[in-house]
Amino acid sequence: MVAVVVPAYNEETQIGMVLDAMPAFVDRIIVVNDHSTDKTAEAVLEKIASDKAKSISIALPRKAMQRTKYNEADVLLHQALRREQKLFTPYEIANENLENDRIILINLEENSGVGAAIARGYKWCLDRGIDCTAVMAGDGQMDPAELEKICAPVTQDGVDYVKGNRLIHRSAWLVVPRIRYAGNSILSIFNKIASGYWKISDTQCGYTAISLKALHAIRIHQIYPSYGMPNDMLVKMNVAYCTIREVEIKPVYRVGEKSKMNIIKVMPKIAWLLLRSFFKRLWVKYLFRDFHPLFLLYHYAIIAGLASLPYAWKVLRAGLFNYSLNFQTTLAFMFLSISAFQAIMFAMWMDIQDNERLYK
C-alpha cells in the first residue's frame, strides 16, 4: 500500500493542482495543513467531496496487544508508539468518512513547520501499516509523474529510504536559481560528513519515499520540525542502518509556488543542526551501538586540530613580522597539524567504507 504525505501551509492556490495530478496507484493522500491562515483547508475539503477515486480499506490502529511470554518486546514497543501521540502537534482529522476517503485532511492546531507536518503524516501512516510513504510538497514543485520511480525502489527492491536528486539532472544549472543551487551544493557537502551517506547530494530535496520498516526504526516525533528536516532524516536513517537510493528527478520552478524559506536565515540553523547531528551519529552508531576506530580518529583530529591553533597563530605571526620561532613551537605545530590531517582523512575513508553497505 502506498500513501503520500502532502505538507501544506497557505497553499490554497496550489494544493488543488497537486491533488488532481496524484497518480492512481496512490492509495491514500494525507494532506497535513500546518495551521494555514488562508483557505487551504477549504480547498482540500472541496477535493475530498468531489473525489470519485475508489480507495481500498486499511487497518485501523490496534488499541492493545495481548501479552504472551514471548512477545513482551512487541507489547512494550506498541505501548510506546501509542504514548508518542501526545508528543506531536495537536491536530484534528477533518474527514467524515475516514475509512473510505482517499484524501485525508489533518489540520494541525498550531503552525509547527514543514518537518513537524511531515512527521504527523508519517505517524498516521505508521499507525496504519502503510508499506511505502512518500512526501510531496503542497506547492506543486514536485512532478507527480515522477512519483512512481521514487516509490518503486521501496515497493519492489526493499530499499528503506529513497530521495530525489535535482542537481544531477542536466537542466539543473538552467532551472534552479543560482543562490539556491550554490546553497544546496554547499549544504550537501556538509550533509555527507554529518550523515555518513557520502554518495548523495541535493540533500535539501524533500521528494522522498520511506518504508514501513524505516518508520519503525526512527523516533518520528524527534524529526527536525523546520526546513532542516531532510538533513535530519538522512542522519536518522544512517544511525538506524537504513539502506538508501537516489533517483534523478527534474527541478521544477515557476509553477505558481511562493517560497517561504529565507536561505540566509535557514543556512546557519541547518549548519548547526548538521554539526550536532554529526557528533550524535558518531556517539550513537560508532560507540554505543557498535564501536568503530573512526570514532577515535574523528575525535582525535578535532582535538589535535584545535590544539594546533595557538601554534598556528605563532607561526603566522612569525611569518608576517619576520622573526624566528623556537624549535618546540615549530615541532608542536607540525606534529599536531599533520597528525590531525591524517586522522581526519583516515576517519573519512573508514566512514565511506563502512557505509558502502547502505547503498542499494
Identity of residue 350: M
- Single residue among 243, 263, 288 that ends a domain in this structure: 288
Question: 307 and 160 in one domain?
Answer: no
Q: What is the pLDDT of residues 165-180, one digit of tens each?
A: 998 888 877 887 777 7
Closest CA to 213 of 234, 242, 247, 235: 242
Q: What is the pLDDT of residues 195-215, one digit of tens each?
A: 999 999 888 888 999 999 999
Domain count along the chain: 2
Cell triple for residue 113?
513547520
Burial of 217 (0-12, 13-18, 19+ CB in 10 A): middle
Q: Does position 257 have pLDDT exceeding 60, yes or no?
A: no
Instruction: Give pLDDT, residue 68.
Output: 82
Question: 91 and 32 in one domain?
Answer: yes
- Single residue among 288, 303, 327 that ends a domain in this structure: 288
Question: 58 and 140 in one domain?
Answer: yes
Q: What is the pTM of this model?
A: 0.89
The pLDDT mean for the chain works out to 89
Q: For residues 136 and 19, what is the distance between their CA atoms, to the nearest angstrom?
A: 10
Q: What is the pLDDT of residues 22-41, one digit of tens each?
A: 999 999 999 999 999 999 99
Cell triple for residue 132?
511505502
Question: 278 and 251 in one domain?
Answer: yes
Q: Does position 54 have pLDDT exceeding 60, yes or no?
A: yes
Q: Does position 233 have pLDDT exceeding 60, yes or no?
A: yes
Question: 21 and 7 in one domain?
Answer: yes
Q: Does position 256 have pLDDT exceeding 70, yes or no?
A: no
Question: 197 and 308 in one domain?
Answer: no
Boundaries of domain holding 329? 292-358
Q: Are the beta carbons of 147 and 23 closer than 8 angstroms?
A: yes
Instruction: Give pLDDT, residue 259.
Output: 61
Instruction: Give pLDDT, residue 80.
Output: 82
Q: Does position 303 have pLDDT exceeding 90, yes or no?
A: yes
Top pLDDT among 350 and 188 is at: 350
Top pLDDT among 253 and 165 is at: 165
Question: 319 and 182 in one domain?
Answer: no
Burial of 141 (0-12, 13-18, 19+ CB in 10 A): buried
Q: Does position 261 have pLDDT exceeding 80, yes or no?
A: no
Question: 98 and 64 in one domain?
Answer: yes
Question: 154 and 86 in one domain?
Answer: yes
Question: 297 and 275 in one domain?
Answer: no
Top pLDDT among 268 and 161 is at: 161
Query: Could you tell me the CATH number of the domain that includes residue 11?
Result: 3.90.550.10
Residue with cell 524533500: 206
Residues 6 or more apart whose Cβ sits within 8 Å of residue 68: none
Question: 84 and 10 in one domain?
Answer: yes
- Single residue among 288, 306, 333 that ends a domain in this structure: 288
Overall average pLDDT of the 190-195 stretch: 94
Question: 222 and 350 in one domain?
Answer: no
CB atoms within 10 A of CB 154: 26
With residue 67 as reference, give the H or E element that holds it: none
Instruction: Give pLDDT, residue 60.
Output: 65
Identity of residue 212: L
Instruction: Give pLDDT, residue 6.
Output: 96
Instruction: Give pLDDT, residue 318.
Output: 87
Residues 6 or more apart whose Cβ sits within 8 Å of residue 76: none
State the pLDDT confidence band at 251, using cuts at 50, 70 and 90: confident
Q: Does position 146 have pLDDT exceeding 90, yes or no?
A: yes
Backbone region of residue 8 per phi and psi (left: phi > 0; alpha: psi in -120 to 50; beta: other values): beta
Overall average pLDDT of the 125-142 stretch: 92
Instruction: Give pLDDT, residue 254.
Output: 67
